[in-house]
Amino acid sequence: MLVIVNGKQRETNAAHVEALLDELEYASKHLAVAINYDVVPRARWASAPLKDGDCVEILTPRQGG
């Protein structure tokens, strides 16, 4: 299926968020994830399902003013 990860289209077989993070080899410990503007808490990464067309944001702490 096709999903959009941080603004880029990707083909994936990942069934849930955790599988997607593994597939894309996310190495950072400090991540937060939203699917279609809904936050997916870390506790639900292994169960939150991905479906075709989902828009996934994977965010991390950064400098700010």
Partner 1 sequence: MVTFYDTEFSSRLLIGTALYPSPSIMQQAIRASGAQIVTVSVRREMAGGKTGDAFWSLIHEIGATVLPNTAGCKSVREAVTTAQLARELFGTPRIKLEVIADDETLQPDVVGLVEAAAILLKDGFEVFPYCTDDLGVAMKLVEAGCRVVMPWAAPIGSARGIINRNALKLLRQRLPDIALVVDAGLGAPSHAAEALELGYDAVLLNTAVAKAADPVAMANAFRLAVEAGRAGYESGLMDARDFASPSTPVVGTPFWHAVS
- Give the residues lining the site for partner 1 (CB under 8 A): 5-7, 24-34, 37-39, 41-42, 57-65
Residue 17: Cβ-neighbour burial (10 angstroms; 0-12, 13-18, 19+): buried
Kindly write down the DSSP assignment for every residue of 21-41, as one continuous string.
Answer: HHHTT---SS-EEEETTEEE-
CB of 44 to partner 1, least distance (A): 11
Q: Which is nearer to partner 1, 28 or 47 (CB)?
A: 28
3-state class (DSSP) for residue 43: helix
CB of 25 to partner 1, least distance (A): 5
CB of 45 to partner 1, least distance (A): 11
